[in-house]
Chains A and B, each alone.
Chain A
Amino acid sequence: MRIRKELFADERDDDLRLVGRPVRRQDIEGHVTGRSTFFADHPVSGLLHLRCVRSTEHHARIRSIDTTAAERVPGVRRILRWADLPKKAHNILTIFNFGIDDEPALADGKVRYLGEPIVAVLAENPRAAAEAVAKVRVDYDPLPAVFDVEEALKPGAPLVNEYIGRNWFRYWGDYDCQQIRFGDVEAALRSADLVVSGRYQMSPIEHAPLETNGCIVVPAEDGRFTVYTCTQGLFFSLDNTAAQLKIESNRLHFIGGTVGGGFGGKVDTVVEPLAVLAAMLTGRPVRYVFSRAEEMQVSSPRGAERIYIEDGVMRDGRIVARKIIHYHDAGAYSRLSTYGTIKSAAHHPGPYYIPNVWVDSWCVFTNRTPSSAMRGFGVTGGDFALESHMDVVARAIGMDPMEFRIVNAYRDGDMKAHRKLTQGAALIECVQVAAELAGWPLSEEARRASSRVGGGGERARIPPTPQSRTRAPAAAGRGEPLRAGVGEARRGMTPPPSWTGGQPATAPAAAEPGRREPPLRESERREPPSEPPRSGSGHGAIRFSSVFGSRRR
Chain B
Amino acid sequence: MSQDRIERILEIISDSLLPLLKGTVLYTVPISLLSFAFGLIFALFVALASLSAKSYLRMPARAYVWIIRCTPVLVQLFLIFYGLPGFGILLSPFLSVVISLTVSEAAYSSEIIRASIQSIPAGQWKAGYSLGISRSQNFVRVILPQAVRICIPSFGNQFITLFKTSSLAALVTIPDLFGAAKLIAASTFEPMLLYLLAGIYYLALCSLLTIGQGRLEKRLGRYRT
Q: Do A and B come from one complex?
A: no
Q: Give chain A's interface residues, CB within 8 Å of chain B.
A: none
Q: Give chain B's interface residues, CB within 8 Å of chain A.
A: none
